[in-house]
Amino acid sequence: MDDQAKGLRELVERKREKNSKFISVASGKGGVGKTNFSVNFAYTLANDFNKKVLLIDADIGMANIHILLNIDTKKNIKNLFYGKSIEEVIVSSNGFDVILGFSGIDSMEEMDDISISMLISQLETISYKYDYIIIDTGAGIDTKVASFLRASNRSYIITTPEPTALMDAYALIKSIYNMYGYKNFKIVINMAKNKDEAISSFNKLKMSANKFLDIDLDILGFLPNTKNIKKCVTRKEIISKTFPQDPFSLEMKKICALEVQEEIEEAGNFWKKVFNFLGQKR
């Protein structure tokens, strides 16, 4: 038992050295820009802010980060459940590390809730190596998405100004709050026509969350609609790399500048358990 406690204490000390942030990227409605956000956020933190970043494609069964990064999926998250260690499935691309996902309905069944918990625990063991661990999730709310969100220090909810997307973003926030009392959300309004539309969309969401859930939502940023994104998706390029002066890339830099200034508010659930466990052993 002493050895176990010592091992855990060492793990905690290593974690403190890096103080890595777990950030989940989620949305209610699909196709609102989560994956483009996640890839450009990872790229900008790594290349413009010199951060050590791990990006995870956790859109179970519908993975597509490998398409945007133009890399094959031979090594992917599923290998973890066939005896590979987490280090063995990590690939490097564009200055950051990535754990790729997989596609297909059969694979979805293999990735049950126990596998997700196992993945989250394995991530904790390598988290000391990273400043940021960014998890791109699938659209909507299921137990897998909920597990990632509740284990994260912060969850970024991406939405467009469309009323349906706003409604679904609200429904996602409400579900996670009702299930776990989790409140660490930040909102990104993507593809707004202009700043006014973005601000009024955010205010609608903020007012509902205030009134009905007692959550004070923060905005992370407004990302403009830009033709260069489609160009980059088609060419399998990263807009922040190919068009660093595009308004999208400039806004992404602002978001990252704000992000790196923020202290971590709270250790993840796992670490609380570790601290409690160590406390009991003393």
Ligand X SMILES: Nc1ncnc2c1ncn2[C@@H]1O[C@H](COP(=O)(O)OP(=O)(O)OP(=O)(O)O)[C@@H](O)[C@H]1O
State yes or no: residue 35 binds Mg ion (CB under 5 A): yes
SS3 assignment, position 221:
strand
Asked whether position 103 contacts ligand X by CB under 6 A, the answer is: no
If binding is defined by CB under 6 A, does position 27 make contact with ligand X?
yes
Question: Whole-angstrom Cα distance, residue 72 to residue 25?
Answer: 23
* Residue 38 binding Mg ion, by CB under 5 A: no
Say which entry of ligand X, Mg ion, none residue 172 contacts (CB below 5 to 8 A, set by partner kind).
none
Among 103, 125, 225, 269, binds ligand X (CB under 6 A): 225
Q: Which stretch binds ligand X (CB under 6 A): 26-34, 81-89, 109-117, 266-274?
A: 26-34
CB of 61 to Mg ion, least distance (A): 12
* Six-digit token string for 169: 């973003």
Interface positions, 118-157, toward ligand X (CB under 6 A): 139
Q: Is 107 in the site for ligand X (CB under 6 A)?
A: no
Contact between 26 and 69 under an 8 Å Cβ cutoff? The reply is no
Give the torsion sign (CA, 60, 142, 252, 32).
Answer: positive
Length of the chain: 282
- What's 186-197 look like in SS3? EEEEEEECCHHH
User: Rounded to the nearest whole angstrom, what is the least distance from the CB of residue 149 to Mg ion in the complex?
Assistant: 15
Residues of this chain, 245-264, that bind ligand X according to CB under 6 A: 248
SS3 57: strand
Strands (E), 94-234: 96-99, 132-137, 154-159, 185-192, 218-224
* 103 contact, one of ligand X, Mg ion, none, CB 5-8 Å limit per kind: none
User: C-beta of 140: minimal distance to ligand X in Å?
Assistant: 8
Phi, psi of 25 (to 5 degrees): -115, 120
From residue 62 to residue 81, what is the string marking binding to ligand X with x (rule CB under 6 A)? Answer: --------------------
- H or E segment to which residue 198 belongs: helix 195-208
Binding site for Mg ion (CB under 5 A): 34-35
Binding site for ligand X (CB under 6 A): 27, 30-36, 59, 139, 190-191, 223, 225-226, 229-230, 233, 248
